[in-house]
Amino acid sequence: MSETPNAVIEVDGKPYLRDAKGMLVPENLVRPQDKLEDEVVRKIMGFAEALSDQIARFRGHTFTDLGEFDALIEQDYGATKGGRKGNRTYQTFDGSMKVQVRVADFIDFGPQLQTAKTLIDECLNEWAAEARPEIRAIVTRAFNTDKEGQINRSEIFMLLRLDIEDERWRRSAMR
């Protein structure tokens, strides 16, 4: 287990705890159950950090071993393992164990998304001026963040399928 930093901060010889807003609170004003919860979370995070380090080492060794195997197969047989994207599967001769390397597609919606949202909002306000609010919600929900703060990618891809003949829509970063 790696050590997590102690929550107590000494200022002029007096113990304080930093709250979630970054303010220093005298330790004697912090409820005992809050101190206990802080201690439990720090203990758990210590184990989590140690496990994360161990997983990182395992992952590094695994990719090194697989890379060396791939290089050997290519050198000896002129063959490569895996598909276009880099997905590969390795298994024991009897098929009882398998190692899969999966490469996920990464789609990055950069700052252009905010520009696209502004242009689409302009279109939406004009087009839906006399429309029911439900119409506006269909497009707006694509730009609303979900519980993790991520843009709803599937909704944006649904919008891309629409053939809309408005110049602002065409100028948006969505096109």
Percent of the chain at pLDDT above 90? 39
Q: Where are the domains of the chain?
A: 1-79, 112-171
- Measured between alpha carbons, how far is 55 from 25 in angstroms, rounded to an integer? 36
Res 173: pLDDT? 46
Summarize pLDDT for 74-105 with one digit per residue, the tens. 889 988 887 777 889 999 999 999 999 988 76
Q: What is the pLDDT confidence band of residue 142, given thresholds at 50, 70 and 90?
A: low
Which residues share a beta bridge with 66? none
Res 43: pLDDT? 93
Task: Pick 59 or 111 by higher pLDDT.
Answer: 59
Res 144: pLDDT? 59
Average pLDDT over residues 37-61: 94
- Measured between alpha carbons, how far is 116 from 111 in angstroms, rounded to an integer? 9
Mean pLDDT taken over the chain: 80
CB neighbours of residue 174 within 10 Å: 21
